[in-house]
């Protein structure tokens, strides 16, 4: 099915299939993977790749993710700014056309993005725009004050939307979707993300890359799906049950 053919009823039926998997998930990773897989599978005619990210404190990262984030920070010259409390936009769920896109551990570039400072985030156009459009002020990255997130984002889901992935630019003229080789190779037309904040200030977002050119109103239909997912996973986040390792039984 194409996203353009989806109705609110379509998304409610999708959630009805996903919810049991989310409810029995032992860790946030399992719930996120179920959501990403369902969105890609249901809308396979449109969706190239669906991913779910969560901000995770640097101290709470697993070994492989922590190593990836440290290497990334070192290559960007910001390793000295990493702190135990640094929020890392961590890939927890992923599903797409290529087999390697169906396992977060095989991600080469997006396993975790450390939000060490507003200045650093501003060097990554897509992340800067995503946070802004979800309602996250970049000042939060510097203060890491969870109250700011709760005040600015509130309880409603926000929407990140790029209608033309090949042409959209930011205020500095940089492409919002920097991976233009990916955009070209997979004929990505539009990108959107929807998500919100948990009570403790952690942010969750579903990001979808589409080969179909979308209007904003179509992406907005996914706001309710994000709200439902956030509500059903709040206990996992509150208990810091984030990664599947350690919950095999």
> Which position has the token pair 């929407």?
159
Mean confidence (pLDDT) of the chain: 93
Helices (H) and strands (E) in the chain, counts: 10, 6
Q: Are 124 and 110 in contact (CB under 8 A)?
A: no
Asked whether residue 32 is domain-assigned, the answer is: yes
- CA triplet 99, 105, 107: central angle to 5 degrees? 65
Which is nearest to 196 in space by CA: 224, 236, 217? 224
Asked whether residue 116 is domain-assigned, the answer is: yes
Distances (CA, A) of 201 to 27, 31, 58: 18, 19, 15
Supply 63's token pair.
Answer: 């070994």
Range of the domain at 147: 3-238
Q: What is the pLDDT of residues 30-43, one digit of tens each?
A: 999 999 999 999 99
Crossing angle of the two packed helices 28-42 and 223-238, in degrees rounded to 10: 160
Which is nearest to 61 in space by CA: 32, 40, 82, 42? 82
pLDDT at residue 226 in the model: 94
We report the CATH number of the domain holding residue 222 as 3.30.450.40
Asked whether residue 39 is domain-assigned, the answer is: yes
Asked whether residue 138 is domain-assigned, the answer is: yes
Residues in the chain: 249
Who contacts 177 (Cβ-Cβ below 8 Å, separation ≥6)? 126, 162, 165, 166, 168, 183, 188, 191
Reported confidence tier of residue 140, pLDDT bands at 50, 70, 90: confident
Q: At 120, is the secondary structure helix, strand, or coil?
A: helix
| Residue 87 CA from chain centroid, whole number | 13
Asked whether residue 57 is domain-assigned, the answer is: yes
Q: Give me the number of domains the chain comprises.
A: 1
Asked whether residue 20 is domain-assigned, the answer is: yes
Give the residue with greater pLDDT, 143 vs 226.
Answer: 226
Asked whether residue 249 is domain-assigned, the answer is: no
Q: What is the pLDDT of residues 163-208, one digit of tens each?
A: 999 999 999 999 999 999 999 999 999 999 999 999 888 999 999 9
* pTM of the complete model: 0.94
Asked whether residue 245 is domain-assigned, the answer is: no
């Amino acid at each position: 099915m194409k996203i353009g053919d989806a109705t609110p009823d379509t998304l409610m039926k999708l959630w009805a299939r996903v919810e049991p998997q989310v409810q029995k998930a032992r860790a946030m990773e399992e719930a996120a993977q179920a959501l990403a897989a369902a969105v890609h599978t249901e809308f396979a005619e449109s969706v190239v790749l669906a991913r779910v990210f969560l901000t995770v404190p640097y101290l709470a990262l697993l070994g492989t993710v922590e190593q990836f984030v440290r290497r990334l920070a070192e290559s960007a010259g910001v390793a000295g700014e990493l702190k135990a409390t640094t929020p890392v936009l961590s890939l927890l769920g992923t599903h797409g056309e290529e087999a390697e896109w169906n396992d977060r551990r095989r991600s080469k570039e997006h396993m975790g993005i450390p939000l060490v400072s507003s200045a650093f985030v501003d060097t990554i156009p897509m992340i800067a725009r995503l946070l802004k459009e979800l309602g996250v002020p970049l000042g939060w990255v510097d203060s890491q004050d969870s109250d700011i997130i709760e005040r600015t984002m509130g309880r409603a889901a926000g929407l990140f939307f790029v209608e033309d992935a090949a042409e959209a630019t930011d205020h500095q003229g940089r492409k919002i979707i920097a991976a233009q080789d990916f955009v070209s190779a997979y004929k990505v037309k539009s990108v959107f993300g929807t998500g919100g904040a948990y009570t403790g200030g952690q942010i969750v977002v579903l990001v979808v890359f589409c080969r179909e050119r979308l209007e904003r109103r179509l992406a907005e239909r996914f706001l309710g799906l994000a709200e439902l997912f956030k509500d059903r996973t709040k206990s996992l986040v509150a208990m810091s049950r984030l990664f599947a390792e350690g919950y095999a039984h």
